[in-house]
Amino acid sequence: MAPPAPLVRTARAIWHWQWCQLMGGLGPADAAGNYQRPAGAFTSLPPLPSEAASADGHVLIVGRSCPWAHRAWLVWALRRLDASITLVVVDPDPAEGRWRFAEPFGGCANLIELYQRSGADSGQRATVPALYSRRQERILVSESARLIELLNRWPAPDGPDLEPGAQQEATLRWRELLQSDVNDGVYRCGFARTQAAYDRAEAALFGALAEADRVLQESPWLAGAELSLADVVLFPTLIRLELVYAPLFGCSRLPLWQLPALWEWRQRFFHLPGVAATCWPEAWRRDYFGALFPLHPSGIIPAGPPLATLVGSRPAPRGLQHDHD
């Protein structure tokens, strides 16, 4: 027997109120219901350290599930920076809502402690990625857009330049579009408070993806003939699309295979040297579905397509891939 209608209305009203309170902590919004990403710490682009080429002088701290950390991880992998920058992977602690080290790092058990030892205010979030200097014993930068610029300037005799001179203007234009409408856009869909806020974010997201598909019909990479930071910032969002953002954030207008140039681009990018090792689909689904309680209260992790069905076998090369296999 169905519960009485007044009880259902009351329960829905109470749940919606509780949902709004929980969402306020998860993802702040403006008065119109649009998600507003909170400001972080260590957001300025620092100068290239004088000891940048020194072995193990710096540490790149990343989390497997975080797409913002993924872009920094990709630059580190593509440019072969492992000789001078050590990679440290932190794990989420859902009960505490923070990133923790597998073993103490710099005298810290978790990332928020390292942030505060580096001078961050106690109220600031501790996010990944973060670049840490062993000599200075502090975090240098944690804003991912600035961090990938710094990593692209890092000494890398065998690594590609991801800001090719002839493509710098196009690369910047794409990065700005992708940051707002795609990288942040999926979160503005998932964390929208109102239907209108969701509709705006969803339209902008798929409009940007359609534009990328049109460009990639004529060019191997987003900004031109060479791989660039524009491609790097798009990949972490697109590789999570079917696995996380479509089912959980409502980014499901159409499957990516209906944008065939973008689908083929994603396959080619995945098969670049070092990229596959940065992809952890089990961690993505566990951390998103298991941790974002306001969006998925049951905590049940649904089945999803195997990553291999999305990236396929190694496709034929188009243009310069910086492939040194």
What is the per-residue pLDDT for 293? Answer: 72
Statement to judge: residues 201 and 146 lie in one domain: no
198 secondary structure, DSSP code: H
Same domain for 175 and 302?
Answer: yes
Do residue 148 and residue 188 come from a single domain?
no
Tally of domains within the chain? 2
Residue 189 placed within a domain: yes
**CATH number, position 238:** 1.20.1050.10
Cα 76 to Cα 42, 44, 131, 168: the distances in Å are 19, 19, 11, 20
Q: Return the higher-pLDDT residue of 300 and 60.
A: 60
Per 3-state DSSP, the chain is made up of helix, strand and coil in percentages (nearest 5) of 45, 10, 40
pLDDT in tens, 106-163: 999 999 999 999 999 988 889 999 999 999 999 999 999 999 999 999 999 889 999 9
Do residues 198 and 121 both lie within one domain? no
Buried b (16+ CB within 10 A) or exposed e, 210-240: eebbebbeebbbbbbebbbbbbbbbbbbbbb
Q: Which two tokens stand for residue 66?
A: 């975080």
**pLDDT higher than threshold 50 for residue 266:** yes
Amino acid symbol at 135: R
As to burial, measured by CB atoms within 10 angstroms (0-12 exposed, 13-18 middle, 19+ buried), residue 2 is: exposed
The overall average pLDDT reported for the chain is 90
The residues facing 86 across adjacent strands are 59
> What pLDDT is stored for residue 315 in this prediction?
65
27 assigned to some structural domain: no
Residue 53 lies in a domain: no
Q: Are residues 259 and 135 in the same domain?
A: no
| pLDDT score for 8 | 63
Q: Quick one: pLDDT at residue 57? A: 96
Measured between alpha carbons, how far is 134 from 216 in angstroms, rounded to an integer? Answer: 41
Amino acid at 277: A
pLDDT at 142: 97
pLDDT band (50, 70, 90) for residue 299: confident
Q: ∠ CA(140), CA(115), CA(79), 5° rounding?
A: 40
Range of the domain at 149: 58-153
Lowest mean per-residue pLDDT among 176-180, 276-280, 314-318 = 314-318
What are 205-252's pLDDT values in tens digits?
999 999 999 999 999 999 999 999 999 999 999 999 999 999 999 999
Indicate whether 162 belongs to any domain: no
Give the C-alpha separation, 250 to 191, whole Å. Answer: 10
Which residue among 153, 187, 216 closes a domain? 153
Over residues 64-99, the pLDDT tens digits come to 999 999 999 999 999 999 999 999 999 999 877 899
DSSP code string of 219-285: -SBTTBSS--HHHHHHHHHHHTIIIIIHHHH---SS-GGGSHHHHHHHHHHHTSTTTGGG--HHHHH
Within a domain: residue 289? yes
| Percent of the chain's residues with pLDDT above 90 | 77
Q: Per-residue confidence at 320, pLDDT binned at 50, 70, 90?
A: very low
End residue of a domain, out of 153, 186, 205 = 153
111/84 same-domain check: yes
Whether the per-residue pLDDT at 19 is higher than 50: the answer is: no
- CATH classification at residue 98: 3.40.30.10
